[in-house]
Structure 1
């Protein structure tokens, strides 16, 4: 693996709440809210820092936290969420992040089926996950803001 994974801690959670994505990716911006930071560090939510030489470059989460309300998550699979630091996006390194996250997920959760939910406008992420062998399973509108999302799966 290229990256080091460790459970999310408060310092890294605080850092990622200050990440600012430019349009059209601004939906991924968050605020430095103590409730949000608490959610990131709660072990039940399975958030992990992704580090490169000790520097926070991305984060991932697994399970319910990676799901978008409104999607059909009945079929058993490990849901994955991935966020890359804004200044590191669009540099053609998506496959490296995805490969390491999948390797980490395999070794940590022993899942046979992986699922990712991506905003439909995020062509860059959709292209990267499809290149990693994921196939579209469904499209739906988020329960709260009706934003279109696409769910993809990869069999292990």
Structure 2
């Protein structure tokens, strides 16, 4: 796997991804605003050895659910991570490799800060994966009918 620059072609492909229920919650609406978000500098694409897009990740405010600020679930001192895998590749045992690659890439510039991510509370598949990597559940909050969970992982570097 390797990182690729988030450009319009990569962003368009991501905006066209469609997940099966109940993961269709993660489907993006194709809009100028969504395109601007992906091209805003905090997102990177992840490609396989043949250069085919397999996912993306982002860091910083883009990885936070804005409603979480009302619940004070985002104190300073963490690196927020967001990620998504191409729908055709989910649920096939590739999540560990994908997450390990992303965490390794972000750790290079982490300054030894702990990681934090936000996941929909119904997404037990993702939560289980994150727990395997040492993330622990932190706080829950609601954004309309959807409940979210923040999870944190201490860095392992000395």
Gaps of 5+ in 2: none
2:145 matches 1:149: no
Q: Give the TM-score normalised by structure 1.
A: 0.91
User: Does the 8 Å contact 2:60/2:80 carry over to 1?
Assistant: yes
2:66 matches 1:65: no
Q: CA deviation at 1:26?
A: 0.8
Q: How does 1:5-154 map to 2 (within 5 A)?
A: 5-43=3-41, 46-53=42-49, 54-71=51-68, 72-142=73-143, 145-154=144-153
What RMSD in Å do the two structures reach over aligned CA positions? 1.2
Q: CA deviation at 1:31?
A: 2.5
2: CA distance between counterparts of 1:94 and 1:33?
Answer: 28
1: CA distance between counterparts of 2:115 and 2:142?
Answer: 21
2: CA distance between counterparts of 1:11 and 1:108?
Answer: 26
Q: Give the TM-score normalised by structure 2.
A: 0.90
1: CA distance between counterparts of 2:112 and 2:106?
Answer: 7
Alignment deviations for residues 93-152 of structure 1 (CA, whole Å, 9 cap, x no partner): 11111111110001134342000110000000000000111001111112xx24101111
1: CA distance between counterparts of 2:145 and 2:114?
Answer: 27
User: Does the 8 Å contact 2:77/2:113 carry over to 1?
Assistant: no
Report the CA distance shift for 1:9/1:108 in structure 2 as closer, same or farther (over 3 A).
farther
User: Does the 8 Å contact 1:119/1:148 carry over to 2?
Assistant: yes
User: Does the 8 Å contact 1:47/1:62 carry over to 2?
Assistant: yes
